[in-house]
Amino acid sequence: MRIAAFLLLALLPAALPACMHPGSKSNVIDEECPELQLEEEMVQGDPITDESLEGKVVLFIFYQRDCDGCERIAMPRIQKLYEEYKAHPCAKVFVINTAFDKDIYPNLADVEETRKHLLRMDWTMPVARDLDEQTNALFTVDDESGTPQAVVVNEKGVVCAHDWYTEDKEMDAVDARFRTLAAGMNCHCERMPREVCDSCTRSRDYIKEGDYERAWDEANTICQSYGYTDKEKADAAYLQKWIEDTASEHFENLEREFEVDPETAITRAEETVSRYKGVTGAKDFAAKVENWRKSDALQNFRKDRADLEKATADLGRAGVTETGRKAVVDRLRSIADRAATNRVGQAARKQLEKVGAIEKADKGSEVKATGKGGSSLGRRSSSASGDSAIKSKSRPATGNAGPAATRETKPATSNLNRKVRQAR
């Protein structure tokens, strides 16, 4: 369940990595994804293996049963994403079930109880079991692990997004990153256009190579020229429509990303416009991107980010007076209000939470003595405190733990980019 210290802001760097949430301190962002240490037996769904993830864009969340933020917000949203992408051969959505509170509430590690709960909730996405809660401890935000966290990994095995997954802006940013990466994989995987007649194979080959401009031109030549059969023209028109739909998916994802992070969206949009040059809709989207570059939204984003960096530095400066602190808090409030729709505004709100100027998003982190996880929005992992979260060691579950927690295990090794360690 989710950590109370949500997006702790340290001094913000002048230039933020493209994948990083302003103000958040993920320990894995822009790094190769840590090895996933999972039980061999799935809670539900097909096994999560190196082979099933290799070369794919992946989104997974950490889930502990009865975590309020998981149950009400994260899991329903992930179920929708799973339904949307389950047929996509180059994108994978799944859940890692962890139970870091199992020493206090052993039933949280009971696999059969979790299976029954998933069935009752009609959640059908693949759910793997964290091996002795080791994997959750490898992923920290602001030096703390917990649930629900979301992680997006690209096809090369690099973590491109990592954040909490209970508030709209956080979830929108994570989802937009995943959608953009998945859309970019359309023409590099098995999900290709259907087979076409011989005259159109060159266009289809260009699609396989990711050369959409030449693929479009080739298909357009067939559509506009004499001497081709109705079948050939129909296949060419089909390929053009396929390219249009793929481009449109990219454009829509980038528009969503612009609302959250204008700078990153513009950089990616420039690449996308170049890739789809000549395709229907690309010219209009290029004009939109040009307007983005001149927009007040971009200028305000940059100004607000600079103001946030300065306010954060002023707040952390030694010897700041109470009057000075109040003035900085007022500046942070102003930033949070005027940048409410993007990442900078969210980071400002989290800084206000940190200094106690506003109530924290997750109200309390204690678990009620009910034999289950409590009703807080998210929970701190009991093993997470600074570096200790990364150093947590395997330990057997106690009490009424299920078979996944009590089975004797030993790790398997892996040398793939997307590493999965399973108990054998």
280-332 tens-digit pLDDT: 899 999 999 999 999 999 999 999 999 999 998 988 887 788 898 899 999 99
Flag whether pLDDT at 3 surpasses 60: no
Higher pLDDT, 26 or 298: 298
pLDDT classification of 348: cutoffs 50, 70, 90 = confident
Q: How far is CA 33 from CA 21, 37, 135, 194, 412, in A?
A: 17, 12, 11, 34, 17
381-391 tens-digit pLDDT: 544 333 322 22
Strands (E), 155-229: 159-164
**Among 3, 24, 135, 39, which Cα is nearest to 409's?**
39
Flag whether pLDDT at 365 surpasses 60: no
Flag whether pLDDT at 410 surpasses 80: no
Distance of CA 318 to the CA centre of its chain: 36
47-98 tens-digit pLDDT: 998 888 888 899 999 999 988 899 999 999 999 999 988 878 789 999 999 9
Instruction: Return the half-sphere exposure (C-beta side, CA atoms, 13 A cut-off) of residue 375.
Output: 2
Q: How far is CA 366 from CA 65, 370, 372, 381, in A?
A: 15, 12, 11, 11
How far apart are the C-alpha atoms of 208 and 192, rounded to whole Å? 7
Flag whether pLDDT at 175 surpasses 80: yes
Question: What mean pLDDT do residues 373-386 have?
Answer: 41
What whole-number percentage of the chain has pLDDT above 70? 77
Predicted TM-score (pTM) of this structure:
0.52
Q: How far is CA 329 from CA 12, 345, 349, 354, 363, in A?
A: 16, 13, 10, 11, 21
Highest-confidence segment of 3-12, 333-342, 371-380: 333-342
Residues 6 or more apart in contact with residue 66 via CB below 8 angstroms:
108, 372, 373, 374
Q: pLDDT at position 420, please?
A: 52
Q: Which two tokens stand for residue 91?
A: 């994108």
Could you give phi then psi for residue 367, rounded to 5 degrees?
A: -105, 130
Flag whether pLDDT at 378 surpasses 60: no
180-190 tens-digit pLDDT: 888 776 544 44
How far apart are the C-alpha atoms of 212 and 277, rounded to whole Å? 8
244-280 tens-digit pLDDT: 988 888 888 888 888 888 988 898 889 889 989 889 8
Q: pLDDT at position 246, please?
A: 85
Q: Amino acid letter at 12?
A: L
107-165 tens-digit pLDDT: 888 999 999 999 999 999 999 999 888 898 899 887 888 899 999 999 889 999 999 89
Q: pLDDT at position 24, please?
A: 56
Q: pLDDT at position 316, please?
A: 83
**Among 179, 178, 206, 174, which Cα is nearest to 193's?**
206
How far apart are the C-alpha atoms of 315 and 130, rounded to whole Å? 39
Question: What mean pLDDT do residues 332-350 have?
Answer: 86
**Among 92, 48, 157, 138, which Cα is nearest to 415's?**
157
Q: Are 345 and 303 in contact (CB under 8 A)?
A: no
Q: pLDDT at position 112, please?
A: 93
Across the chain, mean pLDDT equals 77
